[in-house]
Amino acid sequence: MILTAAQAERRLLILTTTRWLPVGLTFGLTLLLPLERGITLVQLGVLLSVQGFVVLGLELPTGGLADSIGRRPLLVASGVLAVLSTVLFVVADMFWMFAIAMVLQGVFRALDSGPLEAWYVDTAQASDPHVPIDRALSRAATVLGGAIAVGALLGGALVAWHPIAAVSALVPPFVMAAVLSAGHTLLTALLVRESGATDTGKPNGDASDSRRAAARIEVILHAARGTVGRAVRGAPAAVVEGVRVVGGSRVLRALVLVEVFWSIAMIAFETLTPIRLAELVGGEDAAGALFGPMSAVAWAVFAAGSAVAGFASRWIGVAWTAIVARVLNGAFVVLMGVAAGLPGLVAGYWLAYATHGAAGPMHSTLLHRQAVAANRATVLSVNSMVAGGAYSLGLLALTPLAEATTPATAMIAAGTFSILGALLYLPALRAERHTSY
């Protein structure tokens, strides 16, 4: 079945919702559960960096696989690993167990990074080469924020309810997340279709349903038998091409380096916020119950920020929208650090997420403008690789700083540094002025 651009977008939005709803359920709790089970703040930083380094090591190979064997196999495999890592996280009570869970999460995120978005762009542009992908990506980011907001609200409610007295109040959201991740994996297998894989073109009108089904099964089996060989032959070439494209484009080099500054800001509003919250309210369980609704609002304003960015880009351009979002995001992270008490932390947190949501689809659109179908997933993987590496190294610096001083001090340092990343959008701004998109 050949999908229209509108059909591809609908599937993108559905799968974005099911992909990120489980993330919302455990948002922040991934930090609080290890702390509750005796992991120190510095150890937590190491655990999170382990996940990041795994992503760093696998981003390019998995991006190459996505470009050479297709997006669907990697998306399904990532869903299976998401379930396994979540289950292991629930039962972990020692550092090494959490470390294994983080390694699995790293592999899952490396496989998941880029293929769905790349599948949408390629499918939509195959139907309509002039489809405005920035609007669809803005809508996807809006849906993403809404899904995490709903998940965070449900997760916080589960923590406050504490339905199973025999286990920690932080555990039930992880159990529900594992179930939802399994459902997402099945839905992905059904909805993602690629030419040359499960789609073989228009079926013969005289063929029976059973013959068409048998033909499809044969195609799938043939693809499965050839997967390893094609991965070995195709992935290195796709990786080399992706690195060549990034290295040969001043615009792409600058865009991927934005992630260094952006990732440092993310450490502040993703990792340090629940830790600071636990300080203010007196414990991990109390912080978990409050962080659910607090995060729900944050991801709702993230969704709003994504929607606003889609409209703003029509007036001032994609690059200028990205620049403004990057500057404001860093400034609001600084606000989180300098503001005293819970109200200031919450206000800064929400504003940081609004601008985080605005920045995402604009950055993605700028990347897609510089990529082509043959290397799109690999280019996205290079971008994610830089982000993951910067996040991991930043954790090793900021979590010890937070423990030696205060989380607020680390937030101020992170926000100030991240503002400088706006300068790296200037090559994309110049390219936008000289090119009609």
What's the domain count of the chain?
Answer: 1
**How high is the pLDDT of residue 36?**
92
| Residue 408 domain-assigned (yes or no) | yes
| Residue 242 domain-assigned (yes or no) | yes
| CATH code of residue 160 | 1.20.1250.20
| Residue 201 domain-assigned (yes or no) | no
| Residue 437 domain-assigned (yes or no) | no
Cβ atoms of residues 146 and 303 within 8 Å: yes
| Residue 202 domain-assigned (yes or no) | no
| Residue 208 domain-assigned (yes or no) | no
- CA dist 142 and 306 (Å) reads 5
Structure tokens at 308: 């606003």
- CA dist 112 and 79 (Å) reads 8
| Residue 205 domain-assigned (yes or no) | no
The domain in which residue 222 lies consists of 5-196+213-431
Helices 407-419, 273-281: axis angle to 10 degrees equals 150
pTM above 0.85, yes or no: no
**How high is the pLDDT of residue 205?**
41
| Residue 292 domain-assigned (yes or no) | yes
**How high is the pLDDT of residue 195?**
65
Structure tokens at 252: 């792409």
Identity of residue 187: L
**How high is the pLDDT of residue 220?**
38
**How high is the pLDDT of residue 199?**
42
Identity of residue 210: S
- CA dist 388 and 417 (Å) reads 17
Identity of residue 205: G
pLDDT tens, per residue, the chain with 437 residues: 689 999 999 999 999 999 999 999 998 899 899 999 999 989 999 999 998 888 877 877 777 777 777 889 999 999 999 999 999 999 999 999 999 999 999 999 888 878 899 899 999 999 998 888 888 988 998 899 889 889 999 998 999 999 888 899 999 999 999 999 999 999 999 999 886 443 433 434 444 444 444 444 344 334 434 444 554 455 566 567 667 778 888 999 999 999 999 999 999 999 999 989 988 888 878 888 888 889 889 988 998 999 999 899 999 999 999 999 999 999 999 999 998 789 999 999 999 999 999 999 999 999 999 888 777 877 887 898 888 889 999 999 999 999 999 999 999 999 999 999 999 999 999 999 988 65
* Max Cα distance, the chain (Å): 74
Question: What 8-state DSSP symbol labels residue 420?
Answer: G
